[in-house]
Amino acid sequence: MQWACRAAQDAAAATGNVETMFATWGEQLIRDEGGAITGIYVHDADDAYTKINCKSVVVTTGDYGNNMEMRRYYIPWAGEFVSFYGNSDAAGTICNTGDGHLMCMWAGAKMELGPHAPMTHHMGGALGVDGYLQLNMEGKRFMNEDVPGQNIADQLSRQPLAESAEDREAGVKSWQIFDAKWPEQIKDMPDGHGYVNHYIPADQVDQYPTVLAGFGLGYTTDQMVEEAVTIKADTIDDLISQMGLPADVAKAEIERYNELCHAGLDEDFGKMSKRMFPVENPPFYACKFASAGMLVLCGGIDCDLDMHALDTEDKVIPGLYVAGNTMGRRFLVEYPVVVAGISLGTAMSFGRLAGKNAAQGI
């Protein structure tokens, strides 16, 4: 992403017609008597203000995931999700606070109706979001575990809170459980964000220094799993005891799950049989699953297909364009995690379209 941004910046600078201003904050859009946007007021780190007159403004200032007031207003049900992005601007202030959305609305644009879509990613435990047995805090199985991290987050949000004050505070909603045969099982797990499906034996670790140093690349080792699991036990009874679950309920659920695994048919939740692995080979492992993190809140300024911002009457606001995570009309309810590159792809595509249209006065 950074390479693409730098290439675009360098190409623009090479024309000799572009001025780039960093450490500069947009404050207010300027409208003429006819309602068209004709400029913007900005200020620098020393609070010196500048009025920029122009024929059009393109607003591409990110999302509002770190603006808690806007989140409570537009998407209160996503309060459990913590934004992954804690980036700060040149003044040390946290970013992604909806500044562009607010400037557009103050200039007469409207926020799309919604419901806005949080881009959540549950990264799972020692074996990521692999489809192993999960029990909630009442000791009950509650879903087909063979789903991506965002769908796991959806399910966890509907589960009861933990009895333990510490786990409740941490947002723990379930336990992922697997046994000692995981190294031969993970090859059958899906390939995608948050999955772990490549086992590297100890005698081969030195052949994979790059991927093992990376994040979320799907590779793991015995040492990595041993260090990441929450609980390890030699018996099911000890595992359940350490998890703090109701012993009779949890044991019955594990026995039922093992029965379904051996039958090769998940009659309870319909999980694919190739990922039905019984929990019966010691040692046994368990990982806590808490609330998911959030990358972006996909809710933005209503716009048309030419990237014009629209007012409350669905009319074009001349001279005002939006793109990236500031624009609306992309996703509702939930971000589609199964489409690779859709976030950056739409930002670059619609950003280019907005820039071309603004330059041409379309």
The domains found in the chain, sorted by start residue, are: 2-120+295-360 (3.50.50.60), 133-289 (3.90.700.10)
Give the percent of the chain with pLDDT over 70.
99
Phi and psi at 103, nearest 5°, equal -60, -40
The answer to whether the beta carbons of residues 253 and 206 sit under 8 Å apart is no
% of the chain surpassing 90 pLDDT: 78
Nearest to 327 by CA among 285, 293, 292, 355: 355
Place of tokens 């769908």: 151
**Residues 65, 94 contacting (CB under 8 angstroms):** no
Q: Is the pLDDT of residue 214 over 80?
A: no
Mean pLDDT for 119-145 is: 95
Please give the backbone phi and psi of residue 349, each rounded to the nearest 5 degrees, phi first: -70, -50
Mean pLDDT, rounded, for 82-97: 88
Measure the CA–CA gap between 3 and 41, rounded to whole angstroms: 29
Mean pLDDT of all residues in 243-256: 97
How many Å apart are CA 21 and CA 18, to the nearest integer? Answer: 10
- Which of the four pLDDT bands, split at 50, 70 and 90, describes residue 331? confident
- Which of 190-199, 308-317, 349-358 comes out lowest in average pLDDT? 190-199
What confidence score (pLDDT) does residue 100 get?
97
- Position 237 scores a pLDDT of 98
The radius of gyration computed from the CA coordinates of the chain, to the nearest angstrom, equals 25
**Model pLDDT for residues 23-38, shown as the tens digit of each residue:** 999 999 999 999 999 9
What's the pLDDT band for 215 if we cut at 50, 70, 90?
A: low
- What is the model's pLDDT at position 312? 95
Q: 244, 142 in Cβ contact below 8 A?
A: no
Alpha-carbon gap, residue 38 to 49, rounded angstroms:
17
* pLDDT higher than 70, residue 216: no
pLDDT of residue 83: 84
The mean per-residue pLDDT over the stretch 108-125 comes to 91
The mean of the pLDDT values for the chain is 93
Asked if residue 235 has pLDDT above 80, the reply is: yes
